[in-house]
Chains A and B, each alone.
Chain A
Amino acid sequence: MAKILILGAGVAGHTAAAYLQRGLNKKHEITVVSPTSTYQWIPSNIWVGVGRMTPEEIKFDLRPLYKKWGINFVQAKAQTFFPEGDTEINSAYVEVEYTSKEEAGLKLKLEYDYLINATGPKLNFEATEGLAPGNGNIASVCTFGHASHAWELFQEKLDLMQNGQKQIFVIGTGHPTATCQGAAFEYILNVDFEIKRRGLEKFAEVVWITNEYELGDFGMGGAFIPKGGFISNTKLFAESYFVERNITWIKRAGVKKLDDHKIYYENLDGEYLEQVYDFAMLIPGFAGHGFNAFDKNGEDISTKLFAPSGLMKVDADYTQKPFEQWSINDWPETYQNPSYPNIFAPGIAFAPPHSISKPMSSKNGTAIFASAPRTGMPSGIMGKVTADNIIDWIKTGNAIMKHKASMGRMGAACIVSAGYGMSKGTAATMTVNPVVPDWDKYPDWGRDINTTMGEPGLAGHWLKWFMHYMFLYKAKGKPFWWLIPE
């Protein structure tokens, strides 16, 4: 009997749990640890943040599903890793702390033969002074709870505009090296859509603030897409979206601090500037969760498991090298820790070898650039590949690792909602293939130009709406869920 411990029940963790229970005999023990007992379809947070969906429509309780699947569920957060056990326990384990009301604070040692660390990122609001959601006029859409608060705050601003009071909406990135520009891009377009739908645009100024060198970078160095007889950069694509909607932008900006009505930022020219706002939704920086790890003798081995960012080291090439020498071969394929091969870190929990966008610094030495994004589709694929490799390992007794999913070889689709509505809605369907540009294979454009695209239109909204229900159907383990791809 093998014990498989999964930390995290987000896209990567839940996908891995689903495929493991399907692929393994019931005699094997699967345990999922998550601080909350709900699964949320994060891409739809955007619609919660503008009041088009309720939190209940984008989440569900995992416990009945895991009971049906024969998976143990522990509502707790991981704290300390003991990959060799200790002087008392002769087996690898993770110490977790319960988070449910009834057992809050109690600790538990969970032993494992295979560990999947899918804990995602820590939303590092503390890294930017004043950024925490709920702090005055600041919102977030990173969780369904944050998005619900964002909608409440947005409604207050809509009411003020209805009374003739002008409001400034600033949306974008809230840390000099933040990522997830795509989510902020969706939110600003939806906020703008909802303002215009109510005829309040003359009372609104909508501003995009970003750490991107150019708009449309999205943390992946931008992309080239065929459009109108040209192959153009996503810079034009993103800028066109904003100009069409009369949204202005501030780029190359590293946000350092917020107070109730001002955002303080530094730009790549080293200037310290301010932007006034009445409503701000800025994506925080991401970090690891600050886990510690110890060997059998109690020696701290955290650096063997984790990168300085706190994210887990995997089969990536972490050698420091200049941007010009970066290659897709730097990126991991199996998400296996090099020191402890029975530990995996799919999704956002793995430490990328470097960013995808070129690192930039201001004249004052402040790093201002977009970190590498890892959206739902790659995270789901990584979760499935990890499960497939563990299943093979258990069944054959050999760590053959034949299933691979490198961000340098996989494509990704991102449907950027720009307004909700089955007849008046719109979204941009974006695909990149591969996620990390492969300049050796595609010397002209870095990616396969036949499968890299960006297309605005109503069909994009239908796709996003369809995917919302399709992926929740899959996550709920409804009949034939496994036929739906990640």
Chain B
Amino acid sequence: MENRLIITKYSDQYYPPTPNNFTLFLRKSVIFQIIRFFILNYKIMKILVKGHS
């Protein structure tokens, strides 16, 4: 959030969302990310299998 202090107001950089502390924690949490690893693999396989005939 400290970036907001150095971003010029009303510039393009002022508006986008930034992750809060909980989101940042989840992105680095090994247990949560292990679960996501398998879910992401499953999702990728799903689109791959349906992608060609």
Contacts and interface: CB of A to CB of B under 8 A. Distances in A.
Interface of A: 236, 239-240, 242-244, 246, 248-249, 251, 377, 381, 384-385, 402-405, 409-413, 423-424, 426, 429, 431, 433-434, 451, 453, 455-460, 462-463, 485-486
A456 B46 CA distance: 19
Given A239-B16, A457-B27, A459-B36, A413 B48 contact: yes
A458 B27 contact: yes
Contacts of B17: 236, 240
A433 B3 contact: no
What 5 A-B pairs are tightest by C-beta distance, nearest first? Answer: A411-B47, A410-B51, A239-B16, A405-B52, A459-B37
B51 A455 contact: no
Interface in B34-53: 34, 36-37, 40-41, 43-53
A285 to B, nearest CB: 25
Nearest to A377: B48
A411 to B, nearest CB: 3
Interface string B13-27: 101111100000011
A449 to B, nearest CB: 12
7 contacts: A243-B13, A385-B52, A402-B53, A410-B52, A426-B28, A431-B44, A434-B51
Interface residues of B, number: 32
A486 B49 CA distance: 10
B33 A459 contact: yes
Contacts of B53: 402-405
A485 B48 contact: yes
Nearest to B19: A244
Contacts, number: 101
A458 B30 contact: yes
Given A240-B19, A243-B3, A423 B36 contact: no
B12 A249 contact: yes
B52 to A, nearest CB: 4
A66 B37 CA distance: 34
Nearest to B34: A459
Contacts of A403: 52-53
Contact of A458 (B7, B33, B44, B51): B33
Interface SS of B by simple majority: helix
B18 A243 contact: yes
A308 B9 CA distance: 45
Q: Which of A236, A385, A405, A433 has the most CB of B within 10 A?
A: A433
Nearest to A251: B12
A459 B40 contact: yes
A452 to B, nearest CB: 9
Contacts of A433: 47, 50-51
Contact of A413 (B7, B47, B49): B47
Contact of B51 (A244, A248, A409, A426): A409
Contacts of A463: 37, 40-41, 44
Contacts of B52: 381, 384-385, 403-405, 409-410
B50 to A, nearest CB: 7
A191 to B, nearest CB: 18
Contacts of A249: 12-13
A385 B29 CA distance: 39
Q: Which of A242, A426, A457, A462 has the most CB of B within 10 A?
A: A457
Given A239-B15, A458-B30, A485-B48, 8 more contacts: A240-B18, A381-B52, A410-B47, A413-B48, A423-B30, A429-B40, A431-B43, A456-B27
Contacts of A424: 28
B12 to A, nearest CB: 7
A411 B50 CA distance: 8
A457 B36 contact: yes
Given A411-B50, A462-B33, A246 B3 contact: yes
A362 to B, nearest CB: 19
B53 to A, nearest CB: 5
B39 to A, nearest CB: 8
A409 B46 CA distance: 13
Nearest to B24: A244
Nearest to A452: B47
Given A246-B3, A485-B48, A486-B48, A236 B16 contact: yes
A460 B40 contact: yes
Contacts of A451: 43, 46-47
Contacts of B33: 457-459, 462
Given A453-B43, A458-B33, A459-B36, A411 B16 contact: no
A462 B40 CA distance: 11
B33 to A, nearest CB: 4
Nearest to B44: A413
Nearest to A458: B33
Contacts of B46: 451
A384 B28 CA distance: 36
Nearest to A462: B37
